[in-house]
A and B are shown apart, each in its own frame.
Chain A
Amino acid sequence: MATDLAPPPVTASPAPARGKRLSPRTALLRYRWLYLMLVPGLAYFAIFKYLPMRGLTIAFQDFVPFLGYGGSEWVGVKHFEELFTGPDFGRLLGNTLILAVLTVFFAFPAPIVVALLLNELRLNVLKRTIQSLIYIPHFLSWTIVASLTYLLFSVDYGVIANWIHGIVGGAKVDYVAQADWFRPIIVMQTLWKSTGWGTIIYLAALAGVNPVLYEAARIDGAGRWRQFWHVTLPAIRPTIVVMAILTSGHLLDSSFEQIWLMTNSLNRSVADVFDTFVYYIGITQGGYSYATAVGLFKGVAGVLLIFGCNWLAKRLGQRGLF
């Protein structure tokens, strides 16, 4: 088996010289084991990602489960019209985008900064300990994070809320209820929960930087700042760009559980996002078709964003994703 993967001995077939393309059939035959290994991955995407797309048809129907895909009435783009002209659309899009932009602005660079800081640490024990500690929040569920937030920031018994009140004085601020505080709290929760975990990929990239480069820079008289600017940063730039493009696809994906758990009557005006709206309409109200239409819109917008960012990355002289 192993021999199949090895390049063919030159003597056996000298005709297809190096650099010349193999015919698809020959390639398929020659690398059959590699292609076989591809099958599970393809099957995964086909079964779990592409087949369910059949269900997207209900976005164009008035879907009643009992009547099924075949029996439900076709209504064309009615649900999309309703979505785009309805009173909720502007608010949902606004809230989703603002949260997304805030998250990208704060939560995207945070792991990079932390990884770079950790990278500068000399003491290996300290570095490892900090790494382990900041991974932990990643493993807590949003329910726990939300409960902790209420415990710490509640206007009645919140420890931190009372502490701040003790220092600043004035009227008590209800951090978990006020609309003004909703976004900062969401961003802070995200930072707390995911920054540590996000450093992994950057630390891996940093570990791959050739020490020879640093040595050469030092010989040329570069200080730590110069080394960082001319060696470290260019080394992890491709990783940053790829991560940025991937993030852009999820721009409209809000963290459903997190937002759902932090929503109340006073902050709903800034907390309603596409994901909570889809859940409310689809699961609790049984509006399957409308919810699917909203979901489809989100999906299409996500794809456009990925292509847009990829194009932008290439325009700026970076290697894109594809």
Chain B
Amino acid sequence: MNTTPHRLLAGAVAITAAFVTAACSAGDEPGPGNELTVMAPLFGTAPDPGGEMQQAVEKLAGKKLKITWVPNAEYGDKTNVTLASDRIPDLMVIQDQKSPSFVKAAEAGAFWDLTDKLDKYPNLKPRNEQTRLNSSTNGRNFGVYRVRPLLRSAVLLRKDWLDRLGLDLPKTTDDLYEVARAFTEKDPDGNGKKDTYGLIIPKWPTPVFNASSPYNAVDVWFGAPNGFGMRDGRLVPEFDTPEFFAANRYLKKMIDEGLVNPDYATLDTGKWNDPFVQGKGGIIIDVNVRATQLYGLLREKYPDDYTGMLAMTGNLSRPDGQKFSLPFLGYNGIIAISKQHIRTEEQLDDTLRALDRLASEDGAILLTNGIEGRNFKVEDGYAVLINEDDPAVKTINNDVDWGFIQLGTTASVGVGGDAYERKPASEAERDNLRLRKELEELDLRTAVHDPTLPYVSPTLTAKGATLHPIVSDARIKYLAGEITEGQLKDEIKRWYDSGGGQVVAEFQEMVTRGGS
């Protein structure tokens, strides 16, 4: 069969007509009616709006969905631009609900305050008070948080290197130093050359100081507050404590002795795994889910040996044996409801009911795993992919993994336990999943929470561009040996003088008033 120009033309006309009708029908409906406009981040190719997945989600939600998928890399910029426009979608995934642009929009009344609403919905009701507080904006919840494990920090190491050198998993920061030194000096890959190092640190992509970086993890391990903390009834930032300096002396020693990758100030976070997989470095301090990525990459490179190449442990104790753990936020952004089209309480309730259905157990499974019996089946409590060669099923997998999971508020594996974990290929990987849960529970007992998380400091909002980089940059300069400890202290003083003092005062007032 050959495609004649006429057919092509007819096709083009049909497609154009379809677009035009679609555009018109969307424009003709001013109210929400039975359709919701949505903006969500995307990690792959955009799902087909008429595809099986979208139909299943629409059926469960009881609403037509008109979703704008925005590539994750530019989601932050796009969010700010959208908030500045007059077309705010009904449901909007907000990745940072403390960003000045969202705070200003919410305070100006662009989004519904859901604080007193959520308890009425069985599946939207916050399951963890700490997370509800963390995800609030000055105590008010302007959205439904998308749940994630509250503690994800972990140390990932090359197990084959540990085994070859006869080393145990580190338990304290001193152990970690010894492992890093052995990884650097004792030829862990056995090639007879001194061409390895211990710790791999990338350039942290944001100049915001408290950003769950490896540096922050080490600060907390040494006993510094996580971002901000109360000391003798006074709120202090992470970096204005003796523990912060102890942590940095420790890191500087490692860097000076060459136990850290030499390009730690410039290594792109996207290439963080490379030295680990290529066998140049052997330790990564990050989130435990990175283990899944590393297993995948190691499997590609060493299909026969990869199961014995990765070891993981949780937060480390400081030299005196006391342990402090770095918790995460417990959520990844919120889904906010804009007031632009949803104007009345009835319409809001209607929308919340739809979200509640998507947050149910069925909803969590649909948004995380897909359609049971179509693209996966359940086996030993794990999800196992089926019919993988069927192109239609491939589309379902793509749509779920890289798109629809973003719309789930309970669509996270390992918490709440609604959705299924995907069954890992090897016993080692299954053990790793179990280990994650054990370490999470264990480390949560020593978690250091940031009391300022629910609050927004007006000064920090206004002067963040000036304030954020001051201490973050000074720390790196200190580690690189460009400034002394005294000069680092001067920079911290400069932070206070440039408006940081006001930030602390504002937070202190809000935290004391908030009673935490």
A→B interface (CB under 8 Å): 64-68, 86-88, 150, 154-157, 172, 174, 176-177, 179, 264-266, 268-269, 277, 280-281, 283-288, 290
Contacts and interface: CB of A to CB of B under 8 A. Distances in A.
Given A64-B104, A174-B263, A285-B464, A265 B84 contact: no
Nearest to B76: A284
Contacts of B475: 265
A110 B108 CA distance: 53
B135 to A, nearest CB: 19
B85 interface: yes
B34 interface: no
**What are the nearest 7 A-B pairs in CB distance?**
A286-B101, A265-B476, A65-B84, A286-B100, A66-B108, A66-B110, A177-B265
Contacts, number: 97
Interface in B60-90: 76-77, 80-81, 83-86
B263 A155 contact: yes
A52 B177 CA distance: 57
Contact of B263 (A177, A281, A287): A177
8 contacts: A65-B101, A87-B498, A154-B266, A156-B261, A177-B265, A283-B77, A285-B461, A286-B83
A236 to B, nearest CB: 41
- Determine the main DSSP class of B at the interface with A: helix
Given A154-B263, A264-B265, A283-B77, 19 more contacts: A64-B104, A65-B105, A66-B109, A67-B108, A86-B466, A150-B268, A156-B267, A174-B266, A177-B263, A177-B480, A265-B207, A266-B265, A266-B476, A285-B101, A286-B80, A286-B101, A286-B102, A286-B104, A290-B462
Contacts of B422: none
Nearest to B77: A283
A156 B263 contact: yes
B462 A266 contact: no
B229 to A, nearest CB: 24
A283 B102 CA distance: 12
Nearest to A87: B498
Nearest to B497: A87
A284 to B, nearest CB: 7
B266 A264 contact: yes
B262 A268 contact: no
B390 interface: no
Nearest to B494: A87
Contacts of A154: 263, 266
B203 interface: yes
B473 A265 contact: yes
B482 A266 contact: yes
Contacts of B469: 265, 268
Nearest to B460: A285
A283 B80 CA distance: 6
Nearest to A266: B265
B167 interface: no
A268 B476 CA distance: 11
Interface in B8-42: none
Nearest to B480: A266
B272 to A, nearest CB: 13
Contacts of A67: 108
A207 B171 CA distance: 74
Interface in B254-305: 261-263, 265-268
A266 B480 CA distance: 8
B507 to A, nearest CB: 18
B442 interface: no
A265 B477 contact: yes
B392 interface: no
B99 interface: yes
Contacts of A269: 473
Given A64-B105, A284-B80, A286-B101, A277 B465 contact: yes
A174 B83 contact: no
Contact of A286 (B85, B99, B110): B99
B263 A87 contact: no
A266 B84 CA distance: 33
